[in-house]
Structure 1
Amino acid sequence: MNTEKTISPISGYIALFLFLALVGGAIFSFITYHPVIGAICCFTGFILVLPGLLINNPNQSKVLTLFGNYVGTIKEDGFFWVNPFTVKKMVSLKARNLNGQQIKVNDKLGNPIEIAAVIVWQVKDTAKAIFEVDDYIQYINIQSEAAVRHLANMFPYDNFEDEEANITLKDGAEKVSAMLEAELNERLLRAGIDVIEARLSHLAYATEIAGAMLQRQQATAVVSARKQIVEGAVGMVEMALARLSEKNIVELDEERKAAMVSNLLVVLCGDKNVSPVVNTGTLYH
């Protein structure tokens, strides 16, 4: 396996000065009728010196190979001269975003969901990126999709069906992102890629079950709200009966208490405003 080897080549300004000197020498030789010397100067300058000049911009690198052998990588920005017979491949060292496409996959419980992720990545080992995989950008795309699919299969979308689930795709954003980042770093290590950040950018139920899941969520919310209303209403009824008994305002037998509890629960738990009914008789007739 090739590992990155950073090199510091000769300054390009020295080589440029030598090239200009050779050009001047060639011109002088042709003027003074020394064509052989002039030809040698031209060959040296245009074949051996000039093709070796290169410019490396900030956050870029040049991977050099000579006759099939890896020579090294230039990461320092500037103007340099290298062996003119080396093959130079530019590799960007800048951080880049991968906005993954929405894919349909089943979660842990088998529910079809739509999921996508945004990944921030950067080339760390240029030798691995060039020599260990055929196309490192395509490799990143394929491995990222595989990692997202695997992550979706590990956890349920939510805990409606699996109440014991500690991590869900919907609510465990930080833990899910950390696990996705770790898996991507493991998968992309061969290509010399470092994943800086990975987060889910889209998460939803698939279209064919989205309506049913929305109704289930609404029903769960209604049941939860009703439960809280009933608990509050029972507490208020208990408090009312206790205060009436404590203040000796009225003596209520069991039947009157039952009627009072029924009326209070209807008022407190009803969806609409209750219209009062005045009873001019007694409870018994």
Structure 2
Amino acid sequence: MKEEKTHSAQNGYLMLFVVLALFIGGIALLRIYIGAFMIFAALVMCAGFVLVNPNSSRVLLLFGKYVGTIKENGLFWVNPLYTKKRISLRASNFDSERLKVNDKLGNPIMISTILVWRVTNTYKAAFDVDDYQNFVRVQTDAAVRKLASMYPYDNFADEGLDEDITLRSSVNEVSEALEQEVQERLSMAGIEVLEARIGYLAYAQEIANAMLKRQQATAIVAARHKIVEGAVSMVEMALEELSKKDLVALDDERKSAMVSNLMVVLCSDKDVSPIVNAGTLNH
């Protein structure tokens, strides 16, 4: 397969002087045939001027044959018969549409990506694919669909998952995998991927409420676990201090009642109403 090659074009300012000289000389000699020929030659040569802006290029063709690519910016002159195709070398942003796909667990999610890319091989971009800009859009969507099916949206303990990488929490790992996947697909078009990352991620609308409740329930269970763990430590410390300082003698029945009351007070999510016992400990 042919590769990109740089074309050395002639200085455009020098040729501009030549064209102006031919045009002015042709006007001066317009009464004879050579004057008309000089004007005609000047007009034909005007078609050979090429202006290349910074971070831009021109792909040159001669009757369908690839001649080369001009990447140096400035004013140049080439064969007037060349076909000149403009290809930008600037970095471009692509924000994909939100796609509805299934994650590794089969849950429907909405996902989109932000891609930063640029053309590095003008020959591949111009001739190996039909429309390189549309090629970027289609292949990026395909890469996002594949990536979403490789990882779960989140890691839930009740499903027995032990996934180190999830779409929601592992931003760097997922972005790296996405960038590699997109680069493999776009390399045939001579395109370099500068950055690829997830732009939008959420559960699909039909399961969003259910998943939100599930996440809230998981958070509540985790919080309750911490509260109970702390309450047990506080009750244990209270019994040890009472026993150490010999403030009150407690049998097993009274210890059980005290533990029960303390656990209710410490673990309750509402304020408790204390009851003052003015009699003995048994009443």
**TM-score bracket relative to the smaller structure:** over 0.9
AA aligned to 1:9 is A
AA aligned to 1:58 is P
In structure 2, what is the equivalent of residue 101 of structure 1?
97
In structure 2, what is the equivalent of residue 5 of structure 1?
5
AA aligned to 1:108 is K
In structure 2, what is the equivalent of residue 250 of structure 1?
248
What number of residue pairs does the alignment pair up? 281
Check if 1:26 corresponds to 2:26: yes
What TM-score, normalized to structure 1?
0.96
Cα deviation, residue 162, structure 1? 5.0
Which of 43, 46, 55 is 1:46 aligned to? Answer: 43
In structure 2, what is the equivalent of residue 58 of structure 1?
54
What TM-score, normalized to structure 2?
0.96
After superposition, what is the alpha-carbon deviation per residue over 1:133-155, rounded to whole angstroms, capped at 9, x for unaligned?
00011100000000000000000
Q: Secondary structure at the match of 2:29?
A: helix
Which of 76, 86, 99 is 2:72 aligned to? Answer: 76
- In the alignment, the residues of structure 1 paired with residue 274 and residue 47 of structure 2 have an alpha-carbon distance, to the nearest angstrom, of 99
Q: Secondary structure at the match of 1:122?
A: strand
In structure 1, what is the equivalent of residue 197 of structure 2?
199
AA aligned to 1:121 is W
CA contact (8 A) 2:27 2:39 kept: no
CA contact (8 A) 2:109 2:202 kept: yes
CA contact (8 A) 1:8 1:76 kept: no
AA aligned to 1:190 is M
- In the alignment, the residues of structure 1 paired with residue 234 and residue 72 of structure 2 have an alpha-carbon distance, to the nearest angstrom, of 76
Cα deviation, residue 267, structure 1? 0.6
Unaligned runs of 5+ in 1: none
AA aligned to 2:137 is N
Cα deviation, residue 39, structure 1? 2.7
- In the alignment, the residues of structure 2 paired with residue 189 and residue 279 of structure 1 have an alpha-carbon distance, to the nearest angstrom, of 81
AA aligned to 1:3 is E
In structure 1, what is the equivalent of residue 16 of structure 2?
16
CA contact (8 A) 1:156 1:162 kept: no
Instruction: Give the root-mean-square deviation of aligned CA atoms.
Output: 1.1
Cα deviation, residue 84, structure 1? 0.3
Cα deviation, residue 283, structure 1? 4.4
In structure 2, what is the equivalent of residue 86 of structure 1?
82
Cα deviation, residue 43, structure 1? 2.6
Which of 211, 214, 217 is 1:213 aligned to? Answer: 211
After superposition, what is the alpha-carbon deviation per residue over 1:167-188, rounded to whole angstroms, capped at 9, x for unaligned?
0000000000011001111100
After superposition, what is the alpha-carbon deviation per residue over 1:192-219, rounded to whole angstroms, capped at 9, x for unaligned?
1111001101000000000110111111
- In the alignment, the residues of structure 1 paired with residue 197 and residue 153 of structure 2 have an alpha-carbon distance, to the nearest angstrom, of 15
Cα deviation, residue 44, structure 1? 1.8
Unaligned runs of 5+ in 2: none
After superposition, what is the alpha-carbon deviation per residue over 1:225-255, rounded to whole angstroms, capped at 9, x for unaligned?
0000000000000000001111111111000
After superposition, what is the alpha-carbon deviation per residue over 1:99-122, rounded to whole angstroms, capped at 9, x for unaligned?
110000000000000000000111
- In the alignment, the residues of structure 1 paired with residue 198 and residue 233 of structure 2 have an alpha-carbon distance, to the nearest angstrom, of 43
- In the alignment, the residues of structure 2 paired with residue 7 and residue 66 of structure 1 have an alpha-carbon distance, to the nearest angstrom, of 13
Q: Secondary structure at the match of 1:41?
A: helix
Cα deviation, residue 57, structure 1? 0.9
- Aligned CA distance change for structure 1 residues 248 and 235 (closer, same or farther; 3 Å): same
AA aligned to 1:29 is L
